[in-house]
Amino acid sequence: MRMAVLVRVFVERSLVGSRAEVERPTFVYRLEFRRLLIHHHSTDRVLSHLDAIDISILDAFLNDGRASLRGVARETSLSTPTVSSHLSRLMKGRLIKKFVPLLNLDAIDQGIVSVVTLKVPPSEVNTLAKKLAGSEEVAGVYVTAGEHRIILKVHADSVRELEHFLSERVANRGCVVVGSEILSSIVKDEQPVKLKSGVTLALKCDLCKGPISSNRPYNIKVGNSSYYFCCKTCRRSYIDKHRSRLEAAKSRATLSKMH
């Protein structure tokens, strides 16, 4: 059974891009749901490490985060469904966290940017780092090795506001401010990315949420949704648990084909 779907969505384009309305091209998916529920074949397993196709797709989006799937397919000489499938797996593996615009903060009056070094109790490092990451003033949180320290990148409208943040939102959490430096200029502020084929993608099992250690995890693909599992048992249990929802997805696919 084959299904063709034309989808219009709003997405947040990442790395270098902006929020835009994009039209995804027609995708053709092979749905053999009955066979999938009953049997397991080697074709139901996918590689959990980055391959040359993943790298080429990532490079295309790093060059232009606003690129459409069709545009990336043209640039990489791949089919649009192939680009869509690999992109879905990269997002599922949390390598791509989200699509957002990359702002040039030098183009606006952003106040001040400060790098703050904190000393925290060893047992509280991870907990405090997560709590501080939830503050809107904090643009970056980094945990260093050895001295049980946390480094923050903080945006504030003024020095007074920075001092207020450090005294009211940081010091009262049990952190000691070791140093605070205000940046006079930012020459480069981009995420360094150098990916190679063969790097393992940290997929998690969609049932037990445990890490998938195999290089060829078990998976289910229905329409444009993919689910990954650490073993046959989790895969079978997921199908049994969500059978009605998966069957409904199959029905929607059939109706879409009819229309």
Tokens, residue 173? 């959490």
Angle between helices 52-63 and 69-76 (to 10 degrees): 120
pLDDT at 174: 78
Query: Which domains does the chain possess?
Result: 2-99+201-258 (no CATH), 106-182 (3.30.70.920)
**Average confidence (pLDDT) over 104-129:** 86
How many residues comprise the chain? 259
- Is the pTM higher than 0.75? no
Q: Which long-range contacts (CB under 8 A, 24 or more apart) does 248-254 make?
A: 249/222, 249/223, 249/225, 250/31, 250/33, 250/222, 252/223, 253/1, 253/3, 253/5, 253/29, 253/31, 253/222, 253/223, 254/1, 254/3
pLDDT at 202: 75
pLDDT at 223: 66
pLDDT at 37: 33
Measured CA to CA, the distance from residue 175 to residue 120 in angstroms comes to 5
pLDDT at 7: 33
**Arithmetic mean of pLDDT over the chain:** 76
- The model's pLDDT over 207-239, given as tens digits with 9 standing for 90+, comes to 998 888 777 788 887 766 778 888 999 999 999
pLDDT at 164: 92
Confidence of residue 89 (pLDDT cuts 50, 70, 90): confident
pLDDT higher for 69 or 250? 69
> Is the pLDDT confidence value at 26 over 50?
no
pLDDT at 173: 80
pLDDT at 46: 52
pLDDT higher for 1 or 224? 224
> Among the residues of 93-188, which ranges form H helices?
125-133, 159-165
Phi, psi angles (nearest 5°) of residue 40: -125, 130
Largest CA distance in the chain: 65
